[in-house]
Structure 1
Amino acid sequence: MAKIIKPLNDTQIKTAKPKDKDYTLSDGNGLYILIKVTGSKIWRFNYINPVSNNRALVSFGSYPEVTLQQARQRREEYRTLVSQGIDPQERRKSLIEQSVIENNNTFKKISDKWIELQKSKGFTNNTISIIKSSLENYIYPALGDIPINQLKAKDFIPVLRPLESAGKLDTVRRIIQRINRIMDYAVTQDIIDINPVVRMSTVFKTPITKNQPSLPPSELPRVMKALSLANIELQTRCLIEWQLLTITRPSEAVSALWEEIDLDNKLWIIPAEKMKMRRDHLIPLCKQAINLLEIMKPISGHTKFVFPTLKSPYNKPMNKETINMSLKRMGFKGELVAHGFRSLASTALNEHGFDYDLIEVSLAHVDRNAIRAIYNRANYLDKRRDMMQWWGDFVEQASQGNVSLSGSNALKTVND
């Protein structure tokens, strides 16, 4: 006849005193409490491993930290697993390992790894900063600490809705692109099986693409006249003409370094880390651009930047919005922005019949490797020099020779 074990109660456990040897009090169905000679009381569960068919023992913790009720609940959970052919200890070990993996694979941690990968691919520091800021401001606060394998589109959508309601549709679009790339990266690392947000953009409004305000080439004389009459600093005026002549982006123009200028070969070599296309960008300098450098040399030659801030210690470049603010003060609000100079130049060069590929490379839209089949390096640079000099002459002609700082006549006036 099987021995009938009477379940324990709290009074029995509390009043159990240590003896000269360890002893046990059984609660039945494999659960008992071990009373140590030291007086400590430890819950244990004895069961038959369903896989090996060997007897196994597991501790549930100490009493009273683990109560009688909690110990019994754990026992029933373990007995259920055993009845299903699962070893409870292996299951617990697996859950702990899974928890560790998930804690190491939160959305933020995987995002950080993806961002590091983009750095190794040559993304500019400015681009990396923009990516990180968008995630830190809009995604991490709500979802950054959640394991990436637990996230679905339905988790991101309510986080992005306020941005959509505020009309920041382009910001929403860019953030969704970044989330998708992070999820794709997680798939390649075998962290998740599929990208769960691949169609998420379809539930948001589509941003309307607006061209940067620009003017036709025929309006350039009006721009140059306004520039000559503008109440702005000499350095600011030089910066405006520099961007116009080099057809660069505003951020590239303001961050020009003296060490990037090769006066012997009349080249401005912008390193890959500063370029959107993440490759070195060579810009042949026309004589008008060289004239601007001659004006700036006495002003900023002792600093690293060609166009440093106007205030000491001159260790930073001018703000990339400097040109836009100046154009507004000159009366071109809504008509022309700094980026619009590139469109103006592109229109003029295309209308004159210059090779489309040369124009696109000069705008840093095309990797120069893509046109190696068309031009060898020497011929390619010579053709670009001719084109950039034509553009410099075009700008000087639009200035009527006595308005542009970069024009030969104007330089005499400046130096007198």
Structure 2
Amino acid sequence: MAANTGKLTAVAIKNAKAGAKPVRLFDGGGLYMELMPNGSRYWRMKYRYAGKEKRLAFGVFPEVSLAAARQRRDEARGVIRNGEDPSAKRQAERRLARLSNATIFQAIAQEWLEKQSKKLAPVTYRKSEWLLGMASDDLGRRPIAEISSPEMLAVLRRIESTGRHETAYRVKQKASQVFRYAIATGRAERDPTIDLRGALAPVVSRPRAALTSPNDVAGLLRATYGYEGQPTTAAALKLGPLLFARPGNLRAMEWSELNLNEAEWRIPGGKMKMREEHVVPLAPQAVAILRDLEPITGRNRFVFPSIRTPDRSMSENTINAALRRLGYDKDTMTGHGFRALASTRLNEMGWAPDVIERQLAHAERNKVRAVYNRAQYMAERKKMMTAWADYLDRLRTGHEKVVEFKKR
């Protein structure tokens, strides 16, 4: 049963009587005391994260006072406001505390990951965690200074045997970073992955599937405008070629990042691969699509919320699944392929490569040039994005001659 909600007092706690079933005495902000039939008093907090109701345990009264329980509640709510799950954060802190002084591979890998967490995008962090987990399956409890090159090779060969050659290479790269970190912190003397150069099967790189010829692009655009699924998915399909942002950035677009009056989408650095804020100028066509969508999802955090819960963005498979529904298989077109489509066509239309690369948010490969070349090319990018949107409209409606590529 649940007691009346309200601020608890020491007197109310003292006078509370145990019953045949647990009794909940609520304090507000999710904090409550659970009075058990045997008289024990436990502090709990309920909260919602990613659309799910969860609970935290704060200890037993009177060892944990009312004031201490409220302080822990406020700290947990602060974690939630920062977009984190306090329960998961607590588990990670406990795990790191247990392993912080250890010398086993799993401990040092976790320690290295925690130190990288502030500069890695969440998706990159999870990918790194997954890759190192594959190495930890076999090496996790081994002292890192004792791991040999043959041991490391055995781990990578096991991954290779499942046909995941590229994954094996990536596990090797991540493990090497952990070994180098162990060397720097005095817990290992060498990186055993250095001796494995040439020991793995070569990876045959495959370009991401994308349509680039004007005729094919015209057909794709007409197909996307004929999509009859969810309105949010239909809008995302239309914006994909217009904005040619990374799929993860597009589906995680938030209304707070948009200024439709100024026709700008500012993606925070924390979401970007290079950890720098990226501005996407919005052509009138893009603004119109977003204004049409605003009455549908404008009250949500995400422009493209999940159909299951508005607290999360649409899944990473939504756009690709919609393309499959339109008849484009994974070897023909993908959500990421909109970037290759735009890059190819814009280069052929004569736009400056630096402007295109900056709009794609690609890192400058020449490190020396990157130091000096900090230009944003914003004026040129605005012109290019508007011209690009007009070009796509002409292709879709059949008013663009597919052989007409005038150099600027």
Q: Do the structures match in fold with TM over 0.5?
A: yes
Deviations 1:203-230 (A, max 9, x none): 1101110001111141211001222333
SS at match of 1:268: strand
Give the aligned partner of residue 276 of structure 2.
279
Give the aligned partner of residue 297 of structure 1.
294
| Identity between Structure 1 and Structure 2 (%) | 29
CA distance, structure 2, for counterparts of residue 191 and residue 151 of structure 1: 12
Go from structure 1 to structure 2 and tell me whether the alpha carbon gap of 1:201 and 1:103 turns closer, same or farther (over 3 Å shift).
farther
Give the aligned partner of residue 109 of structure 1.
107
Give the aligned partner of residue 324 of structure 1.
320
CA distance, structure 1, for counterparts of residue 291 and residue 383 of structure 2: 21
Go from structure 1 to structure 2 and tell me whether the alpha carbon gap of 1:278 and 1:235 turns closer, same or farther (over 3 Å shift).
same
Give the aligned partner of residue 263 of structure 2.
266
Contact 1:176 1:201 (8 Å CA) reproduced: no
Query: Root-mean-square deviation (CA), in Å?
Result: 2.4
Go from structure 1 to structure 2 and tell me whether the alpha carbon gap of 1:371 and 1:107 turns closer, same or farther (over 3 Å shift).
closer
**Matching residue's letter, 1:226:** A
Contact 1:259 1:304 (8 Å CA) reproduced: yes
Which 5+ residue runs of structure 2 have no aligned equivalent? Answer: 1-97, 400-408
Go from structure 1 to structure 2 and tell me whether the alpha carbon gap of 1:134 and 1:169 turns closer, same or farther (over 3 Å shift).
same
For residues 384-403 of structure 1, the aligned pairs below 5 Å read 384-400=381-397
**Matching residue's letter, 2:361:** A
Deviations 1:308-329 (A, max 9, x none): 1123x41111111111111111
Matched, 1:169 2:165: yes
Go from structure 1 to structure 2 and tell me whether the alpha carbon gap of 1:180 and 1:371 turns closer, same or farther (over 3 Å shift).
closer
Deviations 1:259-308 (A, max 9, x none): 11122332111112211112111111111111111011001000000001
Give the aligned partner of residue 405 of structure 1.
none
Give the aligned partner of residue 188 of structure 1.
184
Displacement of 1:201 after TM fit? 4.4
For residues 19-168 of structure 1, the aligned pairs below 5 Å read 104-120=102-118, 122-136=119-133, 138-168=134-164
| Length-normalised TM-score, structure 2 | 0.69
CA distance, structure 2, for counterparts of residue 125 and residue 225 of structure 1: 35
CA distance, structure 1, for counterparts of residue 371 and residue 190 of structure 2: 39
CA distance, structure 2, for counterparts of residue 252 and residue 235 of structure 1: 15
- Larger mean CA deviation between 227-236 and 208-217 belongs to 227-236
CA distance, structure 1, for counterparts of residue 319 and residue 197 of structure 2: 34
| Length-normalised TM-score, structure 1 | 0.67
Displacement of 1:376 after TM fit? 5.1
Displacement of 1:243 after TM fit? 2.0
Displacement of 1:231 after TM fit? 3.3
Larger Rg: 1
Contact 2:224 2:238 (8 Å CA) reproduced: no
Contact 1:256 1:305 (8 Å CA) reproduced: yes
CA distance, structure 2, for counterparts of residue 150 and residue 372 of structure 1: 40
In the alignment of these two chains, the number of paired residues is 298
Which 5+ residue runs of structure 1 have no aligned equivalent? Answer: 1-99, 403-416
Contact 1:256 1:307 (8 Å CA) reproduced: yes
- Larger mean CA deviation between 192-201 and 126-135 belongs to 192-201
Matched, 1:216 2:216: no
**Matching residue's letter, 1:171:** T
SS at match of 2:193: coil
Contact 1:350 1:356 (8 Å CA) reproduced: yes
SS at match of 2:265: strand
